[in-house]
Structure 1
Amino acid sequence: MESRPFTIHVADEAIEDLHRRLWNSHWPGSIDADSWEDGTSLSFLKRLRDHWLHQFDWRMQEGRLNRLPQYVSTIRGLGIHFVHQPGVGPAPMPLVLTHGWPGSFAEMERIIPLLADPGANGGDPGDAFHVVVPSLPGYGFSQAPAAPGVSAREIAAIWRELMAGLGYDRFAAQGGDIGAGVSCWLARSFPESLVGVHLNYIPGSFRPGRDKSTAPLSAEETAFLDKAAAFAAAEGAYAALQATKPLTLAFALSDSPIGLAAWIAEKFRAWSDCGGELERAIPIDTLLTDVSIYWFSGNISASLRLYKELRSQPLAFEVGERVGVPFGVSVFPRELPMPPRSWVERALNVVRWTCMPAGGHFAALEQPEALTEEIRAFFRPLRSRDNV
């Protein structure tokens, strides 16, 4: 596999075009400009627009991200962008970290050095990882698929080829959101290649096989399924739209940076442990860096369409099917509805389950040190010469 060095560089003309569009924003009416009840707050978005125009420095963010060693490799006809940070320690374990939506590879920026060089960050060098952070196909600086069929399962196969191409025949995986689904498919499809999997989310489509021969649902499992159904009814419209008519939405978000920011910011606020104040959990420049990556890459349409692929191929297991690869799960209190351990253990070999004291859906951004320590602790007993 050939890997070509990659440097992020957005043309001056693209930045100027963004600023023109921001200056010419058309604002909708609002019953209460400060409220988030109907979606993103109008007053918040106006403040965000002003910060984007007058204070946010894309070139500074671009330069910071370019300190990460980035590459592009062509795998199964797709140009896959990834960070590859070699570990510093006696025997680093290869680890692929997978982001989700509405995030990007930049979500992992703060945990990459903690995982790759623990000795320089207050940890034990024996916990070092060779860290690989790919951008999902059609996200960030990875090429968008030109045909249907690139689901989480197919992405897992691409990741396996990527890791093998880097010389890692056996490796660890970690993910949240869509990255959790990709990581589960890695273990399900390629158990011989996986040392273990750490998750900070259980995919919404996760369904263990059940029939009359399987254990009846516990009260805790029934309560979870009811809670998940209630969440889907109250908060799931975005997913239904992205999974059914993604292109219709993409026309609006590809033409309006304010529309794009509104669509993404609402999820960061709703899904983070911020107490209603987004900046308490996600710095405004971090949010705008994420939105800007979607805007400048032009990949919002492909990122939305992945939901359609996920719906067509859910993470559903056959009756009696159970993945033997070791799994660790960290449950953050402000995460989307999470199942009880018993539900997950019906299909996965869960050997570690930790309820965290703080944090939400974007663990790598919100609680980088805590997430890092959970990853280290889970994989520590799995380290051996036979495993890597």
Structure 2
Amino acid sequence: MNNDSQLTPFRIDISQAAVDDLKDRLERTRWAATVPGRDDRTDFSRGIPQPYLRELAELWRDSFDWRAQETALNAFPQLLTTVDEQTFHVVHVASSNPDATPLLLCHGWPGSFVEYRRLMPLLADEFHVVIPSPPGFGFSTPLSSAGWEIGRTAEAYAEIMTRLGYDRFVAHGTDTGSGIVAQLANTHPERVIGMHLACEQRLLGLVGVIFPAPDDLSAQEESELATMRAEAASDRGYLEMQNHKPDTIGAALTDSPVGQLAWIAEKFKARGDRHATPSDSVDLDDLLTNVSLYWFTRSGESSAQFYYEATHSGMPPAMGAAVAAGWAVFDAHPLVRRAMDPQRSIGHWTEFAEGGHFPALEEPDLLAQDIRDFVHSIR
């Protein structure tokens, strides 16, 4: 695996031609004829409503300042390194505190290292923060080969931490990043001091589908889970495409910026604060910077391949491990612990009424404090 251990400093520098091309494509968007009566910008029942999407596209074209965001992102030290012939982009913010704990932050889709931009400054006093982009995401492109799934990615992350000089570390994850963290903890328990996962109540839609349901659920609990599974199933179109036909959707995401915008922004509604539009749940600059990163790196298609590889790897989901574990549940529901920790074996469990699937953007102060509390508890 350690075929090229060089760590090369990196700065984001998107060409002006690429920025101009984006604005030109947005200007020439060919919009669909809307269904009569579908003029409510808050009605996401059939996906992202066109009135709201038009607002976002116009902001992206006319008001969003990519250069300002590029400068802000370049304030975080970054590097490239090659593991198993795959280029990895890594944000590495070393703390000035000599006793700081290495902390690996792992994101999933449709996130990026941008997801942690507000969290990093809150952790700098206690942690050396490391954020790799998974294969096919952001600047961890292009894909070097097929077969980059959760297990292989976890091994690459372990190698990256070794190259940075961190023998032992804490790992935090959300979404598929949680799977990477759990895999790391299972395969390298001697290195992972503790794993901290963040989720929201929508995880219950996967109980009885991916994760086993407890045997002793009451009739009312069974009914609640069935409702949540039905809601999750109605939101699973993107998942089936990325699990099985990433090449097909990838063509649209790579050629149409509005297509890429719709594909991601709709998930910030479906997974973020349930009572808000994406722009109410997260800062618009954060949302559009994240979408821009997917657009400029053409990673809409290659990030979808990660889902295909995970689905076809045959590897079962891993959420537990023989290391200290902490969970932060946002938009909490009591059934989450009943389903995911039926034996009450997880030592650190925190529930928040606020937030959703993107807590590092939605509630960075709460998440930072919970990570800090978890690490203090296992010291």
- TM-score, structure 2 normalization: 0.89
The answer to whether structure 1 residue 99 and structure 2 residue 97 are counterparts is no
| 8 A contact 2:158–2:184 mirrored in 1 | yes
What SS does structure 1 have at the residue aligned with 2:302? helix
Deviates further, 7-16 or 147-156: 147-156
Shift of 1:86: 0.8
For 1:196 and 1:378, how far apart are their aligned partners in 2?
9
Match of 2:158 in 1: 160
- Give the alignment's Cα RMSD to 1 decimal: 2.4
- Deviation per CA, 1:206-260, whole angstroms, max 9, x where unpaired? 546x9xxxx8343387567535532332111110111011110111111100111
The verdict on how the C-alpha distance between 1:6 and 1:42 changes in structure 2, with shifts beyond 3 A counting, is same
For 2:165 and 2:344, how far apart are their aligned partners in 1?
27
Shift of 1:284: 1.6
| 8 A contact 2:141–2:297 mirrored in 1 | no
For 2:101 and 2:345, how far apart are their aligned partners in 1?
20
| 8 A contact 1:322–1:347 mirrored in 2 | no
Match of 2:17 in 1: 13
Match of 1:24 in 2: 28
| 8 A contact 1:151–1:310 mirrored in 2 | yes
For 1:274 and 1:322, how far apart are their aligned partners in 2?
27
The answer to whether structure 1 residue 40 and structure 2 residue 38 are counterparts is no
What SS does structure 2 have at the residue aligned with 1:82? strand
Match of 2:260 in 1: 260
- Deviation per CA, 1:33-85, whole angstroms, max 9, x where unpaired? 32322211111111112111211110000000000000011111111101111
| 8 A contact 2:193–2:324 mirrored in 1 | yes
Match of 1:275 in 2: 275
Specify which of 351, 355, 359 is matched with residue 351 of structure 2: 355
| 8 A contact 1:88–1:129 mirrored in 2 | no
What SS does structure 2 have at the residue aligned with 1:195? strand
What residue identity is the alignment partner of 1:96?
Answer: L
What SS does structure 2 have at the residue aligned with 1:113? helix
The verdict on how the C-alpha distance between 1:314 and 1:357 changes in structure 2, with shifts beyond 3 A counting, is farther
Match of 1:289 in 2: 289
The answer to whether structure 1 residue 379 and structure 2 residue 375 are counterparts is yes
Unaligned runs of 5+ in 1: 118-127, 384-388
The verdict on how the C-alpha distance between 1:227 and 1:307 changes in structure 2, with shifts beyond 3 A counting, is farther
Match of 1:120 in 2: none
The verdict on how the C-alpha distance between 1:93 and 1:297 changes in structure 2, with shifts beyond 3 A counting, is same
Match of 2:304 in 1: 304
Shift of 1:342: 4.3
What residue identity is the alignment partner of 2:353?
Answer: P
For 2:347 and 2:196, how far apart are their aligned partners in 1?
10
What residue identity is the alignment partner of 1:100?
Answer: G
- Deviation per CA, 1:309-356, whole angstroms, max 9, x where unpaired? 2222466379xx96221110011017xx99632443469951111111
Specify which of 43, 61, 67 is matched with residue 59 of structure 1: 67
What SS does structure 2 have at the residue aligned with 1:324? coil
| 8 A contact 2:8–2:81 mirrored in 1 | yes
| 8 A contact 1:80–1:141 mirrored in 2 | yes
Specify which of 113, 116, 119 is matched with residue 108 of structure 1: 116
For 2:215 and 2:232, how far apart are their aligned partners in 1?
24
For 2:314 and 2:326, how far apart are their aligned partners in 1?
21
| 8 A contact 1:96–1:173 mirrored in 2 | yes
Identity score, percent? 38
Runs of 4+ in structure 1 over 6 Å off: none
What SS does structure 2 have at the residue aligned with 1:2? strand
For 1:285 and 1:345, how far apart are their aligned partners in 2?
36
For 1:185 and 1:349, how far apart are their aligned partners in 2?
18
| 8 A contact 2:257–2:295 mirrored in 1 | yes
Specify which of 132, 135, 150 is matched with residue 133 of structure 2: 135
Aligned length: 364
Unaligned runs of 5+ in 2: none
The verdict on how the C-alpha distance between 1:227 and 1:198 changes in structure 2, with shifts beyond 3 A counting, is farther
Match of 1:369 in 2: 365
The verdict on how the C-alpha distance between 1:314 and 1:235 changes in structure 2, with shifts beyond 3 A counting, is farther
| 8 A contact 2:85–2:144 mirrored in 1 | no
For 1:23 and 1:317, how far apart are their aligned partners in 2?
43
| 8 A contact 1:52–1:288 mirrored in 2 | yes
Specify which of 327, 330, 343 is matched with residue 329 of structure 1: 327
What SS does structure 2 have at the residue aligned with 1:192? coil
For 1:63 and 1:348, how far apart are their aligned partners in 2?
45
Deviates further, 65-74 or 138-147: 138-147
